């Protein structure tokens, strides 16, 4: 009889010795239950395959063989394989205590030091697996068990583990893994090695310390876009863990933090010390960024930019060259999971209500546009022929020009529109005016700049007006959140309209400063509050 959740606890004996008890958890492929080993008198966990999951019974045997190869205190132990309803069932050690996902669901995040200790345990488990040429491929909070007594972390569920070079698609064409914890190179269908598991570890550390993955979004398409393109901005709640997380979440696996460096940094954090730098500080050189047309930017406003050799080297160029294949291949991967239609729609997304030109301002818009000047049917913007744009009307209650083909995403508070090549980002945040107003916000952001933006430099903050309203402008250069991304330049304007603070910014590579300035002027000038 197929298990349907109605069996009486303790009523079924399998393998001649394992008495099944309460259900401990259930995934897409099977059910895990507590059981009693009546021969040895110990508690174990039994993983049985769900009959309606489409799982191949051979996968259970493969998982058992894989785990048997990786013997480590932080890797789940498989004691036995028995038959249950004609299918293999795995008998594993019972880790008393729930998963990391269970803890986070209760709102109990880990402190930075606890997170560092967790990271060391998982890193040791992955290192042991990688030494056996085993890739886990599904490192996520639900697959991390936290022992109630002693605090040991145990990596479990090697059901989709594979050797390097294994395909990322199953026999039925379903994407293997959990998207928001999956490395970019796996998302694009490329070769994935141990570095892919380390990316997943970085995302798990973020979740452990903050409660959620940094790539959690409201759709598979938005998750994909966030992993491939968006700024990787670890939360300040991670404290000293921020450098190691940034290193693990490098999009280019060739530039990603290695296991040895990650262990050194995590050990320092676990001991309450400042983590050592990920790599020795190289000799820097001054370069003058060039615009797409090859014209140097105005030295009066740009000045020299410090370039990290790793940023300017072949690895960085490879990372940039891969940007478009990332999307193409990732769409192919998600097509196998029947989401290609949604992803293709996102490539030229027009939120509900988008029109060819801006709507006439009404309601809240009256506070952000001059009363004597009606909104034009189209906004004339300098430079749009060179830098094509389109107008979008966003569900958050605003309309503006963004790069043609831009893809929308949000982190909850902010809305982003990113150019198809992933290089130019337009951001919008709308909130009540905080104490200190627009200039107070910008000065506080400037003060926090060195912590929130690596390599923060050349910053200016000035009080100004926008359409006759109190405003503040902030401009700065920084190193970007990953070495592959490279140095960037950001322009930001915030203004007060009644009790609402509108904040609009544009960020682009330092080599595209002319485009950044043109788009920034166009974006700010075209912005209209729609009251939606």
Averaging pLDDT over each range in 158-167, 214-223, 521-530, which range is the top one? 521-530
Residue 463 neighbours by CB distance under 10 Å: 13
Q: Is the residue at 404 inside a domain? A: yes
362 with 500, same domain?
yes
The SS3 of residue 159 is coil
- Is 252 known to be catalytic? no
pLDDT of residue 293: 35
Q: Is the CB of residue 30 less than 8 Å from the CB of residue 54?
A: no
pLDDT of residue 333: 42
Q: What angle do CA 455, 456, 459 make, to 5 degrees?
A: 150
* pLDDT at residue 523 tops 50: yes
Q: Is the CB of residue 15 less than 8 Å from the CB of residue 62?
A: no
* Non-local CB neighbours of 314 within 8 Å, separated by 6+ positions: none
Domain residues for the domain of 42 are 13-93
The more confident residue out of 220 and 115 is 115
375 with 261, same domain?
no
Please compute the mean of the pLDDT values over residues 73-81 and round it to a whole number.
89
Three-class SS of 254-287: CCCCCHHHHHHHHHHHHCCCCCCCCCCCCCCEEE
The active-site residue out of 121, 138, 479, 492 is 138
pLDDT of residue 28: 56
Lowest mean pLDDT, pick from 128-142, 362-376, 447-461, 468-482: 362-376
The more confident residue out of 285 and 119 is 119
Please compute the mean of the pLDDT values over residues 75-87 and round it to a whole number.
85
Question: Which of 251, 280, 309 finishes a domain?
Answer: 280
Q: Is the residue at 309 inside a domain? A: no
Question: Which of 93, 112, 145 finishes a domain?
Answer: 93
- Beta bridge pairs of residue 473: 462, 493
Q: Answer whether 0.75 is exceeded by the pTM.
A: no
Q: Is the residue at 30 inside a domain? A: yes
User: For residue 368, how far is the Cα from the chain centroid?
Assistant: 33
Q: What value does the CA radius of gyration of the chain take, rounded to a whole number of Å?
A: 26
CATH number assigned to the domain comprising residue 436: 3.40.1000.10
Element containing residue 344 per DSSP (H, E): helix 340-347
The more confident residue out of 139 and 282 is 139
- Beta bridge pairs of residue 49: 30
* Non-local CB neighbours of 232 within 8 Å, separated by 6+ positions: 214, 246, 249, 251, 481, 482
Q: How many domains does the chain have?
A: 3
* pLDDT at residue 301 tops 90: no
* pLDDT at residue 244 tops 90: yes
* pLDDT at residue 315 tops 60: no
122 with 242, same domain?
yes
């Amino acid at each position: 009889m197929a298990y349907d959740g109605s069996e009486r606890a303790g009523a079924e004996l399998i393998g001649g010795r394992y008495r099944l008890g309460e259900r401990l958890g259930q995934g897409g492929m099977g059910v895990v239950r507590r059981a009693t080993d009546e021969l040895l008198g110990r508690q174990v966990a039994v993983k049985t395959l769900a009959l309606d999951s489409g799982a191949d019974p051979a996968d259970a045997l493969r998982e058992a063989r894989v785990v048997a190869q990786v013997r480590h205190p932080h890797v789940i132990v498989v004691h036995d394989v028995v038959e249950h309803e004609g299918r293999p069932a795995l008998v594993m050690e019972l880790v008393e205590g729930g998963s990391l996902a269970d803890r986070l669901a209760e709102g109990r995040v880990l402190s930075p030091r606890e997170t560092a200790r967790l990271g060391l345990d998982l890193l040791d488990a992955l290192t042991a697996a990688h030494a056996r040429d085993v890739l886990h491929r599904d490192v996520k909070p639900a697959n991390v068990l936290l022992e109630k007594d002693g605090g040991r972390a145990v990596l479990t569920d090697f059901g989709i583990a594979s050797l390097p070079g294994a395909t990322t698609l199953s026999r039925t064409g379903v994407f293997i893994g959990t998207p928001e914890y999956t490395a970019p190179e796996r998302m694009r269908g490329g070769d994935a090695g141990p570095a892919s598991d380390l990316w997943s570890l970085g995302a798990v550390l973020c979740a452990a310390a903050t409660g959620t993955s940094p790539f959690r979004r409201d759709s598979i398409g938005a998750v994909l876009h966030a992993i491939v393109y968006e700024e990787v901005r670890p939360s300040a709640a991670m404290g000293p863990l921020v450098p190691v997380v940034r290193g693990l979440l490098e999009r280019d696996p060739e530039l990603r933090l290695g296991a040895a460096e990650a262990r050194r940094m995590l050990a320092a954090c676990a001991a309450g010390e400042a983590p050592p730098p990920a790599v020795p500080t190289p000799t820097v050189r001054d370069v003058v960024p060039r615009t797409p047309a090859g014209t140097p930017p105005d030295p009066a406003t740009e000045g020299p930019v410090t370039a990290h050799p790793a940023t300017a080297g072949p690895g960085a160029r490879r990372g940039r060259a891969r940007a478009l294949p990332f999307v193409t291949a990732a769409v192919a991967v998600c097509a196998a999971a029947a989401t290609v239609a949604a992803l293709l729609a996102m490539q030229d997304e027009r939120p509900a209500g988008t029109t060819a030109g801006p709507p006439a301002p009404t309601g809240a818009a009256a506070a952000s546009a001059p009363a004597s000047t009606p909104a034009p049917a189209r906004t004339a913007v300098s430079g749009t022929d060179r830098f094509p744009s389109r107008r979008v009307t966003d569900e958050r209650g605003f309309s503006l020009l963004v790069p043609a083909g831009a893809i929308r995403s949000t982190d909850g508070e902010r809305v982003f529109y990113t150019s198809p090549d992933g290089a130019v980002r337009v951001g919008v945040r709308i909130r009540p005016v905080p104490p200190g107003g627009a200039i107070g916000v910008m000065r506080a952001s400037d003060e926090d700049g060195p912590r929130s933006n690596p390599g923060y430099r050349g910053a200016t903050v000035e009080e100004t007006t926008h359409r006759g309203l109190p405003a503040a402008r902030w401009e700065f250069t920084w190193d970007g959140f990953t070495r592959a991304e490279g140095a960037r330049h950001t322009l930001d304007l915030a203004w007060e309209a009644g009790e609402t603070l509108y904040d609009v910014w544009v960020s682009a590579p330092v080599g595209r400063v002319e485009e950044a300035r043109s788009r920034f002027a166009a974006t700010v000038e075209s912005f209209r509050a729609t009251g939606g």
